[in-house]
Amino acid sequence: MSSSIAEIKEERRGPNGEILWLTFNRPEARNALTWPMYERLQHLFDTVNDDRSVRCLVLAGSGGAFVAGTDISQFRAFETEQQALDYEEQGDRLMTALEMVRAPVIAAIPGPATGAGFALCGVSDLRVGSPAARMGIPISRTLGNCLSIPQYTRLNALMGPARVKEMIFLAKLYSAQEALSIGLLNEVVADEESLLPRVEEIALKLATHAPLTMWATKESLRRINRKQRPDEGSDIIVKVYMSRDFKEGVEAFLAKRKPDWKGE
């Protein structure tokens, strides 16, 4: 059975509907997230725990992409420090809600998973990609913005500081095989056509395993990661998002030209 809204498709798969399958559905924008998509995902992540029949959550993308970040046109409206802080706080709430989903979460990655898309993959428990998967956060080349302290902490736990710096400083997009070699992907399938069937096969297997064992593992690792986060970081967000460079990055991205960075 399935249901749909414009930008996120919801399906229940498996013999007893035990797999909740969410498909990002803005192929014309490579599934870049709009504010309504953020809100809908938050609601879905928060409420899936109330349905004990859900034994696995799958995140997938349509049109050959996973999620190519946040819809950049929305950043033109940023004029105040609070808007910048609210945006990063919204992202943190979304990632925390995904971390706290009690059932295993699988990301099925057919192509680009960048920015917020990379963050969603990083918080997922298992990541399976097609050979066309590309993963990274190229903000030093595109917008000139930054991440929140919680997100840097998540990345540090996932990749280690050397890889985080490599990815962000060099605006590096890891190919499927590179991502596999450094642990960003758990598996790369033979071709794009094999991706969704393989993910469904894994999801059905997870649905037969002990739910409390998997929950305990997820929750224990989440608590360890949470203990490593410093509380303060709003000054960094304000400095970057209120900068001349961030405004230049947004306009350059939308105009499809190279940004003129000034460091101010």
Q: Are 176 and 132 in contact (CB under 8 A)?
A: yes
For residue 250, tell me if it sits in a domain.
Answer: no
Angle of the 161-169 helix axis to the 149-159 helix axis, nearest 10: 110
pLDDT (mean) for 4-25:
91
Token output for 69: 């970040």
Whether 29 is covered by a domain: the verdict is: yes
Q: What is the pLDDT of residue 77?
A: 84
In a domain, 230, yes or no: no
Q: Pull the structure tokens for residue 261.
A: 């960075």
d(CA 32, CA 252): 17
C-alpha angle with apex 224: 221 to 228, nearest 5 degrees? 140
224-241 core/surface letters (b: 16 or more CB in 10 A; e: else): ebeeebeeebeeebbebb
Q: What is the mean pLDDT of residues 242-257?
A: 94
Distance of CA 102 to the CA centre of its chain: 18
Number of structural domains found in the chain:
1
Whole domain around residue 147: which residue ranges? Answer: 2-191
Contacts (Cβ under 8 Å, ≥6 apart) of 120: 59, 66, 67, 95, 98, 107, 113
CATH number assigned to the domain comprising residue 171: 3.90.226.10
203-240: pLDDT as tens digits: 999 999 999 999 999 999 999 998 888 777 899 999 99
Give the chain's mean pLDDT.
94
Give burial (CB, 10 Å; 0-12/13-18/19+) of 133: buried
Does the pLDDT at position 3 exceed 50?
no
Residue 96 confidence (pLDDT) above 90: yes
